[in-house]
Amino acid sequence: MKTDRRTSSLGGLARGAGLAAGTLAAAAGWWITYSRFWIHHKLPLPKAIDADLRSFDSEAAGMLGYYQASESAGRPLLLVHSVNAAASSYEMGPVFSRFRARRPVVAVDLPGFGFSERSDRLYSARLYHEAILDLIGKLFDEPVDVVALSLGCEFAARAALIDPEKIRSLAFISPSGLGARRRTRGPRRAGLTGRGDRAHRVLSNRLWGLPLFDLIATQASIQFFLQQSFTGAVPDDMVRYAYASAHQPGAQFAPLYFLSGKLFTPNILPAFYARLEQPVLVLYDRDAYTGFGNLPGLIDARKNWQATRILPTRGLPQFERMDDVARELERFWEGE
């Protein structure tokens, strides 16, 4: 009796698919076990910035860690880092170092990162803007200038619109939320399409949530993603610090909300950016993770907005063109 070749081929494909699925399941099981028993999730974490490291209990956000330099007089400057798998105040270190001798400077570790509380709780854009406002209210009795990075710009904009008396000006480095919607991808797209809740449920599953985060937070992965934001080589110290920061108890909770798209404000441009009354400066160039297609229209419509390209950079100009960044910031503040 002849064997039907089509039936034989389908059988072979089924056996191959079953073998691949079994191999994948075995690999996943091995990584989950490796993550649980062999990856160190409490590495020594030094200070991200050479300054006084302090903390206070925020009513909205729990314990907040922050770096402070107050040896100089002048209007206070608050620095807000971005959000990613291994974020911390390290990202704002060059700005902190440049201006600490000229004015009081504070760099906050946002909730879920650095030396701030990393508990298993709801992380949201509201939590972050309330943390910023709590910190300003705790430390200062006058309005502050804010310099924020990437998604941190959205949180700063929300804080500035909700309580404008606390924030005098805003400088945004590579801000998210200004790209054309049709070109949006990655975590922000999940938030815009309403899939954030479902994505977070999948990503944060108690069986594989931490192992998945460990896979994202390997040194090789951190190196790869950081390299997208540099025109030259990524500083080795930055990779090492990011890795250590991503290997702390609870380090996965906030980043998994970020990866799900739940920390973005879908309507940030019309609802917050376009309604700001404070002077706003945007420093930008190319960026692998966001676009700036809506920036020209915003500047034309809102006279309190201005922008300068810091060439050539790819998202973190404070590490590669700090002299240019400082010059533009000083010009902006002097012109307010």
Per-residue pLDDT of the chain (336 residues; tens, 9 = 90+): 455 555 555 555 555 455 554 555 565 565 566 566 568 889 999 999 999 999 999 999 999 999 999 888 999 999 999 999 999 999 999 999 999 999 999 999 999 999 999 999 999 999 999 999 999 999 999 999 999 999 999 999 999 999 999 999 999 999 999 998 655 555 665 555 567 789 999 887 887 779 889 999 999 999 999 999 999 999 999 999 999 999 999 999 999 999 999 999 999 999 999 999 999 999 999 999 999 999 999 999 999 999 999 999 999 999 999 999 999 999 999 987
Give the DSSP letter string of 115-177. TS---SS---HHHHHHHHHHHHHHH-SS-EEEEEETHHHHHHHHHHHHSGGGEEEEEEES-SS
151 burial class (0-12, 13-18, 19+ CB within 10 angstroms)? buried
Domain 52-184+263-334 adopts which CATH fold?
Answer: Rossmann fold (3.40.50)
Give the list of residues 6+ apart from residue 16 with CB closer than 8 angstroms, or none. Answer: none
**Radius of gyration (C-alpha) of the chain in whole angstroms:** 22
* Cα–Cα dist 245/25, whole Å: 29
Please state the domain extents for the chain.
52-184+263-334
What pTM was computed for the model? 0.89
